[in-house]
Amino acid sequence: MINVKKLTKRFTPEKGLFDLNFEVKKGEVFGYIGPNGAGKSTTIRHLMGFMKPDDGGSTINDLDCWAKSAEVQKLIGYLPGEIVFLEGMNGLDFLNLMQKMRKQNVPQKRDELIERFQLDVKTPIRKMSKGMKQKVGIIAAFMHDPEVLILDEPTSGLDPLMQRVFIDLILEEKQRNKTILMSSHSFQEIERTCDSAGIIKDGRLVALEDIHSLRTVQRRVFEVKVKKESDVETIRQSQLQTEVMGKKTVHITVQGNDQEFVQLLSHCEVEHVDTRPQDLEDIFMHYYDRKEVVK
């Protein structure tokens, strides 16, 4: 459904997109992961037809995203990374305008979504919080029941409860065979919904795999606090990669060998286990070190 081929856009020799290739099949949910400034939004801008590629290009449903952008838009629901609405309107005015500009006048899905996200649509947009704007944006993206959804960091600004509502929504749309591309800078978010993912760094795709294989290469660091100092010794003796942080605290790195980790801990008296939040480079050191495009 979404096809990106040799997409290249040079802003400077180092910044931009370089020879990007990936495909999202119909009914698939694709996670697009990368740190800030890696080129996620730039790729999405090309898919939306806001930018003209220097080389290569992208198609949605075999329509070129630049040359046929207005036609492509019929298929797409779009959530921008940075949401800015027109001035001097309230939420409902805006949603109505969007529907009219799409020549659609079936409000059921819209009202259902408003209900679901518990949005007060009469609030003037300039008085809306980040989270409220995000909700309006999500509703605007889903309300015309598009075939393809392009979502740029969809959960930013939402509280955990609303994130849950959003994830359920994605899973439902997936059931209905919709094609979804969503970007994120957090693997955890992608993990829960996506079938496959691409990892982008400095404008280059460094990995393109299904979620299962990404999970096995994902590195997680656990901070384990034990009761006895002898347990620290037991842990250090193991095959796992460990680092002693304090008298009774050890950092254990787990990468696909969760079983061993649990067995090891079963020999110790554990007081506290916690995962440490990490950035993408740490989670996927494996890919970032190699620095080459996996096809």
Partner 1 sequence: MSWPLYSSMMKSHAKMLGGFIYGAVAYIVLIIWIYPSIADMKGFNDMINALPEGMRKLIGMENGINSLADYIAGEFYGMLFLIILMVYVILTSTRLMARLVDQGSMAYLLATPNSRLKIAATQAAVIITGLALIVAFTTLSGIAASEWLISGYELDVASFVTLNVLTFLIFLVIAGYCFFISSSFNDEKKALGISAGLTLFFYMLNMAGKLSEDTEWLLNFTIFKLYDPIKMINNETDALLTGTMLVMAALVLFGGSLVVFKKRNLPL
Nearer to partner 1 by Cβ, of 80 and 203: the residue is 80
Strand order in the sheet with 63-64: 16-24, 2-10, 55-60, 63-64
Residue 46: CB minimum distance to partner 1, A: 10
Number of Cβ atoms within 10 Å of the Cβ of 208: 19
Nearer to partner 1 by Cβ, of 84 and 161: the residue is 84
Residue 153: CB minimum distance to partner 1, A: 14
Short-list 164, 114, 161, 104, CA closest to 135? 114
DSSP-based three-state secondary structure for 5? strand
> What whole-number distance in Å separates Cα of residue 31 and Cα of residue 28?
10
Residue 272 pairs with which residues in a beta bridge?
Answer: 225
Residue 43: CB minimum distance to partner 1, A: 13
Nearer to partner 1 by Cβ, of 18 and 284: the residue is 18
Residue 61: CB minimum distance to partner 1, A: 13
With b meaning 16 or more CB within 10 Å and e meaning fewer, what string describes 147-173?
A: bbbbbbbbbbbbeeebbebbeebbeeb
Contact set with partner 1 (CB under 8 A): 45, 48-52, 69-71, 73-74, 76, 78, 80, 82-89, 93, 97-98, 100-103, 140
Nearer to partner 1 by Cβ, of 141 and 158: the residue is 141
Residue 1: CB minimum distance to partner 1, A: 17
Nearer to partner 1 by Cβ, of 89 and 240: the residue is 89
> What whole-number distance in Å separates Cα of residue 64 and Cα of residue 169?
28
Residue 182: CB minimum distance to partner 1, A: 16
Nearer to partner 1 by Cβ, of 54 and 260: the residue is 54
Q: Are 213 and 256 in contact (CB under 8 A)?
A: no
DSSP-based three-state secondary structure for 273? strand
